[in-house]
């Protein structure tokens, strides 16, 4: 009897010890499947009905509780500030140069720099913010892009079809992404894409009707997806709102950047200033 009792106790102890050994493998947080990250990206390229389009888009994003990123051409923001002001804090706002010119077709560096800086200043002035996100017109960039963005206080570049670049430790670092044009893919297609650690970026512009976008997003919302804006994606505050900076102050910043053309660190000084005035 005693032998049987001892054997039973040993068996129970072995089971308990075994469970203790394997439980970390079963219960560890790493086994929880993470959602696929998706950044919805919208470009405001033309001024026709731009204010109404942005207001409707903002209402749709609010209704579905979606984070997103909007890029506004500088001259559109300058003419219609509501294209920037319409969006909630869950939406990052960036620039796409001032006049939506192909930067690679401009041979004069100073004109390129003016396009980038004036575009950012117009968006910032319209929304009383510091926008540090950029997308090049037509996705066209050349070897000047890193200098242009560094000198303009821009920290994240979403100009590409298979990556985005983030300014870290004095240089732009590439991060892989899978980019889809909204008009070329259905929401059902995106819902069946194999889960990946790379974020999915889905692009739209204001040639799409907001009713089409709403139908697209309502279907996409049914998937097991995590919708993020650019700041959430890269882990930096890329849109700082309510800076209460005047039009003159914004262009003083641009003038200082032009004067210090070879100093790629000067934008750090202005970022500190922006943060202090928030």
The partner residues of 38 in beta bridges, in order of sequence, read 200, 227
> Residue 259 above 90 pLDDT?
no
Burial bucket for residue 110 (CB in 10 Å: 0-12, 13-18, 19+): exposed
Band (pLDDT 50/70/90 cuts) for residue 268 is very low
Nearest to 198 by CA among 36, 32, 29, 66: 36
| pLDDT reported for residue 270 | 33
When pLDDT is averaged across residues 159-176 and rounded to a whole number, the result is: 96
Q: SS3 letters for 191-214?
A: HCCCCCCCCEEEEEECCCCHHHHH
> Residue 66 above 60 pLDDT?
yes
Whether the pTM exceeds 0.85: the reply is: no
| pLDDT reported for residue 33 | 66
Is residue 263 helix, strand or coil? coil
For the segment 193-203, what is each residue's pLDDT rounded down to a tens digit? Answer: 999 999 999 99
- Tell which wins on pLDDT, 250 or 5: 5
For the segment 132-154, what is each residue's pLDDT rounded down to a tens digit? Answer: 999 999 999 999 999 999 999 99
| Alpha-carbon dihedral sign for residues 13, 18, 21, 26 | negative
> Residue 20 above 80 pLDDT?
no
Which of 28-37, 116-125, 134-143, 269-278 comes out lowest in average pLDDT? 269-278
> Residue 258 above 50 pLDDT?
no
Contact 151, 113 (CB under 8 A): yes
Helices and strands (DSSP H and E) totals, the chain: 11, 12
Nearest to 103 by CA among 119, 81, 92: 119
Nearest to 229 by CA among 68, 35, 43, 66: 68
Nearest to 17 by CA among 7, 5, 9: 9
For the segment 85-124, what is each residue's pLDDT rounded down to a tens digit? Answer: 999 999 999 999 999 999 999 999 999 999 999 999 999 9
Contact 118, 74 (CB under 8 A): yes
Helix axes 266-277, 247-259, angle to 10 degrees: 160
Mean pLDDT of the chain: 84
| pLDDT reported for residue 242 | 81
């Amino acid at each position: 009897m005693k032998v049987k009792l001892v054997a039973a106790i040993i068996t129970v102890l072995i089971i308990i010890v075994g469970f203790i050994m394997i439980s970390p493998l079963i219960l560890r947080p790493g086994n929880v499947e993470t959602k696929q990250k998706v950044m919805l990206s919208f470009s405001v390229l033309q001024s026709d009905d731009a204010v109404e389009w942005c207001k409707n888009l903002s209402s749709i994003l609010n209704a579905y509780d979606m984070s997103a990123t909007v890029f506004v051409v500088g001259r559109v923001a300058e003419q219609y500030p509501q294209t920037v002001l319409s969006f909630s804090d869950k939406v990052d706002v960036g620039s796409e140069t001032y006049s939506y010119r192909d930067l690679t077709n401009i041979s004069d560096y100073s004109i390129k720099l003016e396009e980038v800086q004036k575009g950012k200043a117009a968006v910032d002035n319209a929304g009383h913010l510091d926008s540090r996100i950029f997308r090049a017109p037509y996705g066209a960039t050349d070897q000047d892009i890193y200098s242009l963005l560094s000198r303009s206080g821009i920290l994240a570049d979403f100009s590409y079809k298979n990556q985005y670049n983030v300014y870290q430790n004095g240089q732009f670092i590439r991060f892989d992404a899978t980019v889809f044009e909204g008009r070329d893919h259905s929401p059902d297609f995106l819902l069946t894409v194999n889960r990946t650690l790379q974020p999915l970026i889905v692009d739209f512009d204001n040639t799409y009707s907001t009713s089409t976008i709403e139908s697209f997003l309502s279907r996409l919302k049914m998937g097991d997806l995590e919708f993020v804006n650019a700041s959430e994606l890269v882990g930096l505050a890329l849109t700082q709102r309510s800076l209460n900076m005047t039009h003159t102050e914004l262009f003083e910043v641009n003038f200082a950047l032009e004067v210090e053309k070879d100093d790629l660190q000067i934008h750090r000084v202005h970022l500190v200033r922006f943060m202090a005035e928030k």
